[in-house]
Chains A and B, each alone.
Chain A
Amino acid sequence: MSLWPRSYPPALAVASFALLPMAVLFLLASDADSFFLEHHLHLLSNTLLLTLGTVLGAMLIGIPLAILTSYVQLPLGALWLIVLAAPLALPSYIGAFTFYAAFGPGGEINNVFGIETPSASGLIGASIVMALYTYPFVLLTTRASILSQDASLINVARTLGMSLPRAIMSITLPRAMPAIATGSLLAALYAISDFGTPAILGVDTFTRDIYIEYNAFGLAKAAVLSIQLLCLVTLVLFLESLFRSEPGNTGQPLSICLKPLHITVVFLTVIPIALLAIMLPLAIFTLWLIRDGSGDFDYQIAWNSTYVSILAATFAVFLALPVAYAAIAGPVGRLFERVTYFGFGIPGIVMGTALVYLSLQLPALYQTLAILVAAYVLRFLPLAVGTVRASAENIDSSMTKAARILGAGPLEVFHRVLLPLTMRGVVAGGALVFLESMRELPATLLLSPAGFETLATYLWRVYEAGYFGRAAIPGLLLVVMSGFGLALLLMGERRAEFGLTNKK
């Protein structure tokens, strides 16, 4: 019997940790009488269609933007990436609500500009809005993978007469497939478990029933329905696992300089996306700010959000590393990796309550910062696991073997070979966890220390009360602080780049 790969024991520990809330969910569900609704089939088809629409939309926006931000030298550089990733920090109900308020007859666009727009509603409207708030999953995972590919393959193809777009299509993208699939998986899990967007835009999905039961104090039934939802999560996990690629060499990424005319064209296509996903909500809130006036705002809140999110991102990538390496090491490790995803498919409010039960096992830590960060890590671990694994998959195992033959110990191999080569995935994973933590609401409300408020909880508070003008400043700060956090993470990436290549 062969020895377990070294990454297995820590990966097993992390996977067990990730499964704890699921165990609580099963315990809560055991209180329910047998419970199944006939009209679930109709809800199931809506959920599936919305998930499909969201994933297609997120890929359609995310992949081109990933190519753009990794290959093309744009003026203002990394600022574009920061702006384009920021929609992930805006709570989806805020996005959906502003879309609902802006579009359609009698909407704000109609009021201000007198232009009649179709209303944002139904399956198509919800898919578009959801795609606008999930494409950064695809953008960040795909970009991390593209940047770790060696551009010399593309250069060879172009020397042999292949056009650049064709070279990207047939060389870059196939090798980025696992990363694209991972990003899409995360977008799909988000679409499956989100409640706000489909509810506001009038699509009845599975989560609506979960919320109805939850709000009617049927926690056990809500848990049963959430577990039923996991069948869908399993299906999505299976589909994603079909995308694997051959490992290739890593090396210097491609760098393209565009003519000013091309840059203009690029901006004209990119700007509307940023405009819709970030500027529209902020503009609508500003309109309401002018109309209703703003309240007092305590700027400490913005810092609260930022530093818990940075803590969560740091711990999450740390725990994600062994799981990601285990996933590559063998089928058992692969299983460890898969189970960490389940939590991300559970609707937030049910997950929040499961985490309350879990953290009450350690009463001394209940409602402390430590528990809050642990809750974020538990909820968003899959974001880090997915991205790290996708970029680690590209590493040719001959690299690590060569290092071992040359006398490096396992730790040195990890430190000098494996980690630098997966650094881009680590940074991207950290960025995803950071952005999701910025907008996390249910667990924050229930588990944060007394008196601790974040931008997301403040936004929720004023939104619930209907004082939308007061959402303008925290909404803007959410975007600014996300940019700040992303910039920090990208500095880490640049340092890794520096270590890997000698240029720059």
Chain B
Amino acid sequence: MHRRQFLCSISAAGALITLPSFSSSDQKNSVEDLPALEGKLTLYLGRGEGGLYENVLTAIESRNRNLELNIRRGPTAALANAIVAESKAGVQRADLFWAVDSGAIGLMNAEGLSQPIPQDLLSQLKPKFRYTNWAPITGRIRTIPFNTTRIKSTDIPNDIMSLPESGLSIGWAPAYASFQSFVTAMRIIEGEDATSDWLRRVKKTAKSYAGELSVVMGVERGEIDIGFANHYYCLRLKAGKPEATVDLAFTKNDAGCLVNVSGVVALSDKDLSTNFIRYLHTLEVQSYLAHEAYEIPLIEGIAQPHGIPPLDSISPPQIDLTRLSDLNPTLELMRKTGVL
């Protein structure tokens, strides 16, 4: 009943929601069990997720009438730089920083700006995603979008390292942050030499795009057979255009199916900040983001977005995500191989 009201308040904010059904045993992460949020809170939101994140934030606000939430949106790197500038000037504006990029989180950690996350909050997360000074919110998988009229999923090798020899035409977005995180993962897993070699081999035939949405659009238009992109671009494209001739393939246990996350850093040690993070980890919010934004929930027992196989059936590589913030050696490799 109360949950319905929460969802109604989301609906009132303008989105049409059809909800995944919950099993009644999963009540422990519900918004019902959380303390009310009271006071002023400033959130720096490092992405522009249209109405969806807005709807979640609006719903949280309408449940907590005494919460005065200020949101500043911007590119993750620009907000991270602004937070560093503020701390140098002794000004604190942001209580929380929600970043798409584990690189930005690494910068906050390196500058000593992130506050520790309480143990009980960590224990709600899937075991692979527990970190002491930041809280992952949702995940995204590296995927191989492919054109369904030109090739079949079985034509795509399930080993990212042998992809260049598959004879398929490839699209990529080397200047894009998600792609650089993926190359960083490859560098950590396979080593510098193998990664340089891979970059050189792909470069021979690859077509470059500005961003990964463009890569997926390029695949759909048949400009290329396959591409490298985060999973949600394809799912969102298909949501608006169900007849789109594009589908997703996954590699096995390598950087090609890396699961990266967006995460929140607490910059002030208010209880309000950590309690706010608890709201983002609820069943309601996680299911909503999975269902509407096609993001991967990181709390146990919540259904995956439609259109991708369950997280357990994908075999992502084991990697400490904060290590992905070490971007400089990656940029160097990419420049040395002429990719950038």
Chain A residues close to B by CB (< 8 Å): 37, 39, 100-101, 104-107, 199-200, 202, 208-209, 211-219, 288, 291-292, 295-296, 349, 352-353, 356-357, 360-361, 363, 366-367, 442, 445-446, 450-451, 457, 460-467, 469-470
Of chain B, the residue at the smallest CB distance from A216 is: B327
Q: How far is the CB of B280 from chain A (nearest CB, A)?
A: 18
Q: Are A291 and B241 in contact (CB under 8 A)?
A: yes
Digitize B310-329: 1 where CB-to-A-CB distance is under 8 Å, 0 elsewhere.
Answer: 00000000000000010110
Q: Are A464 and B86 in contact (CB under 8 A)?
A: no
Q: Are B85 and A357 in contact (CB under 8 A)?
A: yes
Q: How far is the CA of A217 from the CA of B181 in the complex (A)?
A: 13
Please name all residues of chain B whose beta carbon is closer than 8 Å to the beta carbon of A464 when the two chains form the complex.
47-50
Q: How far is the CA of A106 from the CA of B222 in the complex (A)?
A: 8
Q: How far is the CB of B193 from chain A (nearest CB, A)?
A: 21
Q: Are A39 and B327 in contact (CB under 8 A)?
A: no
B77 at the interface (CB under 8 A from A): yes
Of chain A, the residue at the smallest CB distance from B220 is: A106
Q: How far is the CA of A460 from the CA of B47 in the complex (A)?
A: 10
Q: Are B77 and A217 in contact (CB under 8 A)?
A: yes
Q: Which listed residue, A107, A200, A467, touches B214 by the CB 8 Å rule?
A: A200
Name 30 interchain pairs, CB-CB below 8 A, sorted by A. Answer: A106-B223, A200-B210, A202-B209, A211-B175, A214-B81, A215-B75, A215-B177, A216-B103, A217-B77, A217-B103, A218-B328, A291-B240, A291-B241, A295-B15, A296-B13, A296-B14, A349-B75, A352-B78, A356-B82, A360-B85, A363-B89, A363-B90, A366-B86, A450-B42, A460-B48, A461-B73, A462-B48, A462-B50, A464-B48, A469-B240
Q: Are A100 and B214 in contact (CB under 8 A)?
A: yes
B335 at the interface (CB under 8 A from A): yes
Would you list the 6 A-B pairs with minimal beta carbon distance, nearest first?
Answer: A106-B221, A461-B48, A465-B50, A464-B48, A296-B14, A360-B89
Q: Which listed residue, A208, A211, A214, A360, touches B91 by the CB 8 Å rule?
A: A360
B340 at the interface (CB under 8 A from A): yes
Which positions 56-98 of chain B face chain A at CB distance < 8 Å?
Answer: 70-75, 77-82, 85-86, 88-91, 93
Tell me how many residues of B have a C-beta within 8 Å of chain A: 57
Please name all residues of chain B whose beta carbon is closer than 8 Å to the beta carbon of A295 when the two chains form the complex.
14-15, 50-51
Q: How far is the CA of A457 from the CA of B45 in the complex (A)?
A: 13
Please name all residues of chain B whose beta carbon is closer than 8 Å to the beta carbon of A366 when the two chains form the complex.
86, 91, 93
Of chain B, the residue at the smallest CB distance from A461 is: B48
Q: How far is the CB of A193 from chain B (nearest CB, A)?
A: 16
Please name all residues of chain A whose beta carbon is closer than 8 Å to the beta carbon of B82 when the two chains form the complex.
353, 356, 446
Q: Are A467 and B222 in contact (CB under 8 A)?
A: no
Chain B residues close to A by CB (< 8 Å): 13-15, 42, 47-52, 70-75, 77-82, 85-86, 88-91, 93, 103-104, 107, 175, 177, 180, 208-210, 213-214, 217, 220-223, 233, 236-237, 240-241, 325, 327-328, 331, 335, 338, 340
Q: How far is the CB of B318 from chain A (nearest CB, A)?
A: 24
Q: How far is the CA of A101 from the CA of B89 in the complex (A)?
A: 43
Q: How far is the CA of A442 from the CA of B214 in the complex (A)?
A: 22
Q: Which listed residue, A101, A200, A219, touches B81 by the CB 8 Å rule?
A: A219
Please name all residues of chain A whose beta carbon is closer than 8 Å to the beta carbon of B104 when the two chains form the complex.
217
Of chain B, the residue at the smallest CB distance from A364 is: B91
Q: How far is the CA of A467 from the CA of B325 in the complex (A)?
A: 28
Please name all residues of chain B whose beta carbon is closer than 8 Å to the beta carbon of A460 when the two chains form the complex.
48
Please name all residues of chain B whose beta carbon is closer than 8 Å to the beta carbon of A202 when the two chains form the complex.
208-210
Contact status of A216 and B180, CB under 8 A, knowing A202-B208, A295-B14, A295-B15: yes
Q: How far is the CB of B292 from chain A (nearest CB, A)?
A: 11
Q: How far is the CA of A363 from the CA of B74 in the complex (A)?
A: 20
Q: Which listed residue, A199, A212, A216, A445, touches B73 by the CB 8 Å rule?
A: A445
Please name all residues of chain B whose beta carbon is closer than 8 Å to the beta carbon of A470 when the two chains form the complex.
50-51
Q: How far is the CA of A213 from the CA of B48 in the complex (A)?
A: 21
Please name all residues of chain A whose beta carbon is closer than 8 Å to the beta carbon of B241 when the two chains form the complex.
291
Contact status of A215 and B221, CB under 8 A, knowing A291-B241, A295-B50, A464-B48: no
Q: Which listed residue, A360, A367, A457, A461, touches B50 by the CB 8 Å rule?
A: A461
Of chain A, the residue at the smallest CB distance from B16 is: A293
Q: How far is the CB of A79 from chain B (nearest CB, A)?
A: 33
Of chain B, the residue at the smallest CB distance from A360 is: B89
Please name all residues of chain B whose beta carbon is closer than 8 Å to the beta carbon of A219 when the two chains form the complex.
81
Q: Are B73 and A465 in contact (CB under 8 A)?
A: no
Q: How far is the CA of A288 from the CA of B237 in the complex (A)?
A: 11
Q: How far is the CB of B47 from chain A (nearest CB, A)?
A: 7
Of chain A, the residue at the smallest CB distance from B89 is: A360
Of chain A, the residue at the smallest CB distance from B233 is: A466
Q: How far is the CB of A25 from chain B (nearest CB, A)?
A: 13
Q: Are B71 and A353 in contact (CB under 8 A)?
A: no
Of A214, A216, A353, the most chain B CB neighbours within 10 A belong to: A216
Of chain B, the residue at the smallest CB distance from A201 is: B210
Q: Are B175 and A212 in contact (CB under 8 A)?
A: yes
Q: How far is the CB of B191 from chain A (nearest CB, A)?
A: 21
Please name all residues of chain A whose beta carbon is closer than 8 Å to the beta carbon of B220 when the two chains form the complex.
106
Please name all residues of chain A whose beta carbon is closer than 8 Å to the beta carbon of B103 when the two chains form the complex.
216-217
Please name all residues of chain A whose beta carbon is closer than 8 Å to the beta carbon of B180 when the two chains form the complex.
216
Q: How far is the CB of B149 from chain A (nearest CB, A)?
A: 11
Q: How far is the CA of A37 from the CA of B332 in the complex (A)?
A: 10
Q: Are B86 and A360 in contact (CB under 8 A)?
A: yes
**A-B contact sample (6 more), CB < 8 A, given A295-B14, A366-B86:** A106-B222, A215-B77, A216-B77, A361-B89, A367-B93, A465-B49
Q: How far is the CB of B90 from chain A (nearest CB, A)?
A: 8
Q: Are A467 and B50 in contact (CB under 8 A)?
A: yes
Q: How far is the CB of A259 from chain B (nearest CB, A)?
A: 47
